[in-house]
Amino acid sequence: MKRYLILFAFLLIPLFAACANGASEDAALSTPTPAVDQAEDSGVVVFAAGTPEPTPTATPEPTAEPIDHMGQRVRDNLMLNLESLQLVAFSGSIDLYSEPSKTSESVTLKNNTTDRTICELIVLGETTSDEGKLFYQVRSAFSTDTGYVLASDTKESTLAQSGVSGFALMICPGCSIMKSPDEESAVLAQESYHVARILGSYKDFDYVITEDGNAGYIKPDQLQIIDSTTLETYLASGLTPEVDEPFEIENLITYAKAQTNADSTEALIFEGLTQLGFYFNPGYYQFFQKELSDLEQYPIGYREDVYNSSLFKLWNSAGNLAYYNDEPTQWFHVARTDALQAGDLLFFAEYGASDLVEVETYEVVLRGPDSGYITACGIYLGNDSMLWVKDGVVTTVTQLSSSPIWSYFDSGRRIQTEVTDPKAYLIECMIASAYDRLGTPYNNFCRMGETSYDCSGLVGWAFRRAGATQLKSGSRQFRETTASGLAHLEALYYGDLTLTLDYVAGSSRDETTIPLLERGDLVFILGESHARISHVMIYLGNMRVIHSTTVTDFYRGTLVAGFREELQGLYSNALRIVKVED
């Protein structure tokens, strides 16, 4: 009987198959659900006869870890694991032990970095030795040294007494970390738009440790206090996608063409470059804002939100604030008369007839070419076409050179992932630093005070912020330089490079050399009442200059101006970087 039942079961199989073949098309496209018998309490799954084996679930590809440009190093430098800091100090020198015991190895710790009046230690913890001595586990507030010190060898902290502490953002490019609380002090390091942890205040200076691990004094007007939320957002902005292939400018074009919508062209460019491995300094691009409502600091014409926009910052980066593989990039300046290449970033400045103000011998260029008042941008595609975002839609402009927007073309930027032309890089960084000071007031007493300048103060500040020094040792760094002093400048020191300068003209007052001026030349002007050098300007090209001047009460500060004939009559000479040597 059992044998017949088995035979009967096999005879039914073709019948079920025939029923399956007659199923509807929709049912045939649906995923079959296997019939499952679960044996009670056995935990064993048994599939019924004729049920297909389940398709194995594909193992997902591992998600690439993003690159953290801030990294643990930055978090360690800022001591983010310590919500509050306990500071102690010592006099002269102190024994720093490797273990909380006087019998362990030790070194003599001295402050050989900053002003020795501040010999502070950051307390990381405390412990009692086997001998009953109280030890502090410490980190030096002026170096990277860590270890243990006897609590009895320390004293009350001068910095802690000030009650000033917290996190702050550096709000100017190349912020100076000084050796002493003195504006004439040596500069230990320069950082641009980074975060610093303030340990205290001393003689009207803040004493800080920066995200790069540098310690020293900073003028409070170069810092903007931030809260913990802003700090966390800043740190999170250090994450960028990991990329597999080296950057090619064609990849930016491909990325942009693949998009259909974007908030703006600059947002599209930022996102595209980020996806391709670029990292933008978050302090400058996301957090730094000028107080443009300040009518005293920003005179008429320089109170527009455009100078806080990401579009202005993109135009004014010069590559010194955009990194690839955590190294600075080079963004070559493309003038209006230069031939364009596919991938060039194009910038436009809308303006009208009233945006050029004529005051005495000056043209104050509030809008238009070279003004810094940038209102649109695009990506050049080649073949006289450009991609940009219009009303939220990614659009291509054909026959660009004959379109209405072309009359507003300001300049372009040609991106390169590494610095191959240090002279061009230094010039663009210097000019960008000067543009960053547009509208700041003129002051010939506080000549280079980070928030006010005279003519030579602006030039020296721009060089210093670009990383160049007047002396090979880096001391003083243009702080005492006047216009006539700059006219005798023979060399600049930029990292390991020496840049030699020379005059454009063979003799003074040779106006025939004015048409030979190049972007980045230092132009010297004689006084109207005496034949001595009394003014210096940075030449931008196209008979435009940027300088700090006293034109009128309305236009008194850092301005872009035209190099008019009346001013050319006072032309003395110009200096140019002519040679770069290792």
Read off the pLDDT of residues 527-565 as tens digits, 9 standing for 90 and up: 988 889 999 999 999 999 999 988 877 888 899 999 989
CATH architecture designation of domain 241-420: Alpha-Beta Complex (3.90)
3 state SS of 161: helix
299 pLDDT band, cuts 50/70/90, is: low
Measured distance CA(263)–CA(76) in Å, rounded: 36
Measured distance CA(85)–CA(165) in Å, rounded: 9
More confident residue, 464 or 77: 77
**Is it the case that residue 250 has pLDDT exceeding 50?**
yes
**Is it the case that residue 300 has pLDDT exceeding 50?**
yes
43 pLDDT band, cuts 50/70/90, is: very low
> For the domain 424-582, what is the CATH superfamily, name and number?
endopeptidase domain like (from Nostoc punctiforme) (3.90.1720.10)
pLDDT tens figures, 364-378: 998 989 999 999 999
**Is it the case that residue 430 has pLDDT exceeding 90?**
yes
pLDDT tens figures, 199-235: 999 999 999 999 999 999 999 989 999 999 999 999 9
Beta carbons of 223 and 196 less than 8 angstroms apart? yes
Strand order in the sheet with 571-581: 356-359, 362-365, 556-562, 544-550, 533-541, 522-526, 571-581, 497-503, 491-494, 468-469
Measured distance CA(468)–CA(296) in Å, rounded: 30
129-138 average pLDDT score? 95
- The single-letter code of the amino acid at 449 is G
More confident residue, 477 or 339: 339
Instruction: Output the pLDDT for position 305.
Output: 87
3 state SS of 76: helix
Supply 313's token pair.
Answer: 């910052």
With pLDDT > 90 as the criterion, what percentage of the chain qualifies?
Answer: 67
473-481 average pLDDT score? 67
With pLDDT > 70 as the criterion, what percentage of the chain qualifies?
Answer: 86
242-251 average pLDDT score? 93
Instruction: Output the pLDDT for position 296.
Output: 62
Measured distance CA(94)–CA(109) in Å, rounded: 5
More confident residue, 37 or 574: 574
Beta carbons of 524 and 511 less than 8 angstroms apart? no
pLDDT tens figures, 317-347: 999 999 999 999 999 999 999 999 999 999 9
Instruction: Output the pLDDT for position 62.
Output: 63
**Is it the case that residue 9 has pLDDT exceeding 70?**
no
Instruction: Output the pLDDT for position 255.
Output: 97
**pTM for this prediction:** 0.84
52-68 average pLDDT score? 71
Q: Mean pLDDT over all residues of the chain? A: 87
**Sole residue written with tokens 């040597």:** 581
**Is it the case that residue 25 has pLDDT exceeding 70?**
no
Least confident of 29-38, 119-128, 229-238, 248-257: 29-38
70-82 average pLDDT score? 95
Alpha helices in 259-334 (DSSP H): 265-275, 282, 310-315
- The single-letter code of the amino acid at 274 is T
Beta carbons of 206 and 168 less than 8 angstroms apart? yes
Instruction: Output the pLDDT for position 134.
Output: 97
Instruction: Output the pLDDT for position 20.
Output: 40
Supply 22's token pair.
Answer: 């007659």
User: Is-same-fold flag (241-420; 424-582)?
Assistant: yes
Measured distance CA(536)–CA(125) in Å, rounded: 55
484-509 average pLDDT score? 93
Domain ranges of the chain: 71-231, 241-420, 424-582
